Amino acid sequence: MSSSFKFSEWPPTLTGSQLEALSVHATTYALAHSLLYLPPGQSQPTVPTSAIHAPFALLPSPFPRKPFLEAKRLQRIYNVLYARIAMDVGFLDNVMGTEHGLGQVDDFIGQLWSGWKLLRDEGLAQPLHLGIFRSDYLLHSPSENDRFLKQVEFNTISASFGVLSQRVSELHRYLYNLTSYYNVSSYITADNFPENNTLSTIAEGLAAAHSAYNVQSAWILFVVQPNERNVFDQRWIEYELFDKYQIRVIRQTFDQLAATATVDSTSRLHINASTDTVPSGSVEISVVYYRSGYVPSEYTTPNHYSVRFLLERSRAIKCPTIALQLAGSKKIQQVLTQPDVLESFLCDPKRGKVFTPSEVEAVRNTFMAMWGLEVSEDGLTPDHEATGAGREEYGVRRARDKAHSLVLKPQREGGGNNVYKDDIPAFLDKLDPPERQAWIAMELITPPQGTGNYLLRAGNRDGSGTVKTEVISELGIYGWALFADSEGVIEKEGGWLLRTKGKENNEGGVATGFSVLDSVLLVDD
């Protein structure tokens, strides 16, 4: 795929006065339109007293039109794919719970899987699952004129920054309408700013699940982190649910839920919280929406797992269920690259709609090469014969040989967990053989080189303000799916995110400080 657009020539040159004017307009717009974080601090006050703007790029970043539209098209297939994975209990048990399964070597995954298995044995009260998804991609540019869409990961829990991403796309459109970006680039035109409707998409998915629960007076529960800084990204979903659907939201942490959550004899989930907004002292919950619970550090006591399992036991519709959270693990992403696995989910008429060979191939074309560190040369089973003294599994040997072009990923979300390139051999030396099953190796995506942008972060102590740097941009496409074992998948695609980071940073999380929020400027191939 050739491209007439020169990524190495972005961003266009701005004068000092133009840069200052855009920065002033952008930051004041951000503060006025809730493109906000709470300020850093070990604890946040119950009543917020101040806020800062979230980090963002001053100009939209270029992204080829065809791969962007392809990512949106593929989201509908990915929605169905991960719904079917979550419904395939035998498949998940095989990956998570067998002798060499992920749950045997990763304590966090093991806790979730074993708790889910016990709940299944008891009998789950709610067959419906709700997934609010985000599929993340980078452009892969192995040569100057090639641009391929490659998936970084698929998120099935707490797919965040949807609302703030929409706010950034609105900010960039505002700057264009106000200044035309001083006509510094012929690519900056109204037609090249794609629509971004992430807020309405996420709220629609939650409202669909609430409707399926069929108790209009019930509330939606947001399970949140203590001292959450990214609260505005969440609050706008709450406001949209109330304004558009008349659905109320209650926010609780795991610690709060330990004291307030109960499940009655009919498996209905109630939150006992006497506040001004809950005058009756108790509300029934229709949907449990997790904006936390995706990393081990959020389960600091056994009580937190107990709360998670209590919620899972109830009739409330979970977003996600434990099954759907497990389906989003890196190990599942790697297993899907093995021969015939993708086809088993998308081409079996017993599962519902059969996708065409070209659709399946389009999904497979987004995969980079991946393998488990424990695998044998056939890529499927542990290599028991290669574990003697002085010998290593094929997966480890291959990772050592190709370390310069790899990333190692554990089963973790949120950024800051991966091991890259030259750090890999020393890391493998320290990794105990049983722990290798918890890691996958993935060939690195090579993004276009030389692309830059101007990045703004609030409160730069060195006074640098807007910083120009070479960057890499990661595209995320949102979607949702509502489904049950015996029913078809109701799903929708809508909205997107662009995260941009300095080229020197391997990791990509906004909340972890590596990236800034950005928006797409479509350029033709």
Q: Does 234 share its domain with 381?
A: no
Query: Measured between alpha carbons, how far is 472 from 485 in angstroms, rounded to an integer?
Result: 40
Q: Is residue 1 part of a domain?
A: no
| Buried-state track 27-42, b at ≥16 Cβ within 10 A, e below 16 | bebbeeebbbbbeeee
Quote the pLDDT of residue 505: 63
HSE-up (13 A, CA, CB side) for residue 109: 29
Residue with tokens 């794919």: 81
Could you list the residues known to form a binding site, using ranges: 134, 153, 155, 157-160, 228-230, 234, 291-294, 330, 409-418, 420, 442-445, 474, 499, 501, 507, 510-511
What is the token pair recorded at 413? 């979300």
Supply the pLDDT for residue 386: 42
Residue 101 and residue 23 in one domain: yes
Q: What's the pLDDT at 390?
A: 37
Q: Is 114 exposed, middle or buried (0-12, 13-18, 19+ CB in 10 A)?
A: middle
- Is the torsion defined by CA of 97, 98, 100, 104 positive or negative? positive
Beta-carbon-side half-sphere exposure of residue 70 (alpha carbons within 13 Å): 21
Distance of CA 219 to the CA centre of its chain: 25
Q: Are residues 309 and 383 in the same domain?
A: no
Cα–Cα distance measured from residue 276 to residue 35, given in angstroms and rounded to the nearest whole number: 28
| Separation between Cα atoms, residue 208 and residue 307, nearest integer Å | 25
For 223-238, give one letter per residue: b (16+ CB within 10 A) or e.
bbbeebbbbbbbbbbb
The amino acid at residue 360 is V
* d(C-alpha 439, C-alpha 337), whole Å: 15
Alpha-carbon distance of 280 to 516, in angstroms, equals 42
**Closest CA relative to residue 113, chosen from 339, 439, 438:** 438
Catalytic option among 413, 436, 479, 494: 413
In the block, tokens 């939201």 appear at: 249
Of 72, 84, 251, 409, the active-site residue reads 409
Active-site residue, 186 included: no
User: Can you give the pLDDT at residue 51?
Assistant: 92
Q: Tell me the one-letter amino acid at 277.
A: T
Asked which of 420, 443, 466 is the last residue of a domain, the reply is: 443
Give the distance, in angstroms, between the CA of residue 350 and the centroid of all CA atoms in the same chain: 29
Whether 413 sits among the annotated catalytic residues: the reply is yes
Q: Is residue 450 part of a domain?
A: yes
Identified catalytic residue from 76, 134, 268, 308? 134
Task: Estimate the share of the chain in helix, then strand, then coil, as percent rounded to the nearest 5.
Answer: 40, 20, 40
Query: What b/e string do you get for 263-300 counting C-beta neighbours within 10 Å, with b at 16 or more?
Result: beeeebbbbebeeeebeeeebbbbbbbbbbbbbeebbe
Q: Cα 264 to chain center, whole Å?
A: 33
- Looking at the DSSP bridge assignments, the partners of residue 113 are none
330 is catalytic: yes
Binding-site members for substrate are 134, 157-160, 228-230, 234, 291-294, 499, 510-511
- Say if residues 82 and 133 touch (Cβ distance below 8 Å): yes
β-sheet bridge partners, residue 134: 155, 478
Structure tokens at 132: 């609010």
> Does residue 215 form part of some domain?
yes
Calpha distance 6→220 (Å, rounded): 47
Q: Would you call 298 a catalytic residue per the annotation?
A: no
Q: How far apart are the C-alpha atoms of 2 and 523, rounded to whole Å?
A: 12
Question: Based on the domain organization, do 381 and 355 belong to the same domain?
Answer: no
Q: CA 408 to CA 287: how far, in whole Å? A: 35
Say whether both 289 and 423 belong to one domain. no
Q: What is the DSSP letter of 149?
A: E
Q: How far apart are CA 73 and CA 94, in angstroms?
A: 30
Given 380, 414, 443, the domain boundary residue is: 443
Alpha-carbon span 298 to 292, nearest angstrom: 7
Quick one: pLDDT at residue 506? 57
Which among 330, 331, 398, 436 is annotated as catalytic? 330
Domain count within the chain:
2
Check whether residue 402 and residue 484 sit in a common domain. Answer: no
Buried b (16+ CB within 10 A) or exposed e, 446-472: bbbeebbbbbbbbeeeeeeebeeeebb
CA 69 to chain centre: 19
Q: Kindly report the CATH number assigned to the domain that includes residue 392.
A: 3.30.1490.50
Final residue of a structural domain among 443, 472, 497:
443
Question: Are the beta carbons of 64 and 524 closer than 8 angstroms?
Answer: yes
Would 2 be classed as within a structural domain?
no
Question: Between the CA of residue 512 and those of 230, 297, 417, 500, 505, what are the distances in Å?
Answer: 11, 14, 11, 13, 12
Does residue 86 sit in the same domain as residue 193? yes
Phi then psi for residue 190, to 5 deg, are: -60, -35
What pLDDT was estimated at residue 144?
75
Chain-centre distance of CA 328, in angstroms?
Answer: 9
**Active-site residue, selected from the candidate residues 238, 392, 499, 508:** 499
* 227 within a domain of the structure (yes/no): yes
In the annotation, is 61 catalytic?
no
Q: Is residue 143 part of a domain?
A: yes
Exactly one of 3, 160, 185, 192 is catalytic; name it: 160
**pLDDT tens, N- to C-terminus, the chain (525 residues):** 444 788 999 999 999 999 999 999 999 999 999 999 998 876 787 888 889 999 999 999 999 999 999 999 999 999 999 999 999 999 999 999 876 788 888 999 999 999 999 999 999 999 999 999 999 999 999 887 788 999 999 999 999 999 999 999 999 999 999 999 999 999 999 999 999 999 999 999 999 999 999 999 999 999 999 999 999 999 999 999 999 999 999 999 999 999 999 999 999 999 997 665 676 789 999 999 999 999 999 999 999 999 999 999 999 999 999 999 999 999 999 999 999 999 999 999 999 999 999 999 999 999 999 999 887 655 444 444 444 433 467 889 999 999 999 999 998 776 668 999 999 999 999 888 888 888 999 999 999 989 999 999 886 544 457 889 999 999 999 999 999 976 789 999 999 999 999 887 655 455 444 689 999 999 997
Entry pTM:
0.93
Active-site residue, selected from the candidate residues 110, 414, 502, 513: 414
- One domain, residues 434 and 456: no
Catalytic residue among 155, 169, 196, 286: 155
Do both 289 and 187 map to the same domain? yes
Q: Is residue 218 part of a domain?
A: yes
Residues 221, 252: contact at Cβ < 8 Å?
A: yes
Determine the Cα angle at 342 with ends 338 and 343, to 5°: 115
**Residue 254 belongs to a domain:** yes
- Distance, in Å, from the CA atom of 160 to the CA atom of 166, rounded to the nearest integer, reads 12
pLDDT value, residue 435: 83
Are β-strands 283-290 and 269-271 bridged in parallel, bridged antiparallel, or unpaired? Answer: antiparallel
CB of 478 within 8 A of CB of 37? Answer: no
In DSSP notation, 362-409 reads HHHTTPPPEEETTB-TTSSSB-GGG-STT---HHHHHHHHTGGGEEEE
Write the CB contacts of 175 (distance below 8 Å, at least 6 apart in sequence).
Answer: 22, 25, 26, 29, 181
| Binding residue ranges for Mg(2+) | 153, 155, 413
353 as an active site residue: the answer is no
- Annotated active-site residue 414? The verdict is yes
- Asked whether residue 397 falls in the same domain as residue 353, the answer is no
- CA atoms 44, 47, 48, 49: torsion sign: negative
Which amino acid appears at position 157 of this protein? I
Domain that holds residue 149: 7-361+446-523
Whether 154 and 11 share a structural domain: yes
d(CA 330, CA 313): 26
Both 505 and 482 in a single domain? yes
